[in-house]
Copies of this chain bind each other. A is one copy, B any other.
Amino acid sequence: MSRFDIEVRVKPRPGLLDPQGKAIHHALESLGYPGVGEVRVGKVIDLTLEADSEAEARERADEMCRKLLSNPVTEDYQLRVRASAGKEAEG
């Protein structure tokens, strides 16, 4: 068993309303920042996962995204998987 660092970025699908992004855009304009285009806000989820291989870690993380971490109707997700530095789990 090895430990893997998983980073999941969940973002609203292009074209869907993003009220939080609109609010941030408005606030940036009010603060006097010019030249800001569209703002979109999503989530970033970091977790560690123990698995036998990177492929297995990625597959399980992908399933977690589909089942819990993202809403497939309104959101897209991107996964990044890499071995945890110097933290080999026993097994």
Using a CB–CB cutoff of 8 Å, the interface residues on chain A facing chain B are 1, 3, 9-11, 21, 24-25, 27-28, 31, 33-51, 60, 64, 67-69
Interface contact A51-B35, CB-CB below 8 Å: yes
How far, in whole Å, are A40 and B50 apart by their CA atoms in the complex? Answer: 16
CA distance A21 to B51 in the complex (A): 20
| Copies of this chain, count | 2
Contacts A68-B24, A69-B24; is A36 near B43 (CB within 8 Å)? Answer: no
Chain B nearest CB, measured from A40 CB (Å): 5
List, in ascending order, chain B residues with CB within 8 A of A43's CB: 41-44
| Neighbouring B residues of A33 by C-beta, 8 Å | 60, 64
Q: How far is the CA of A11 from the CA of B42 in the complex (A)?
A: 12
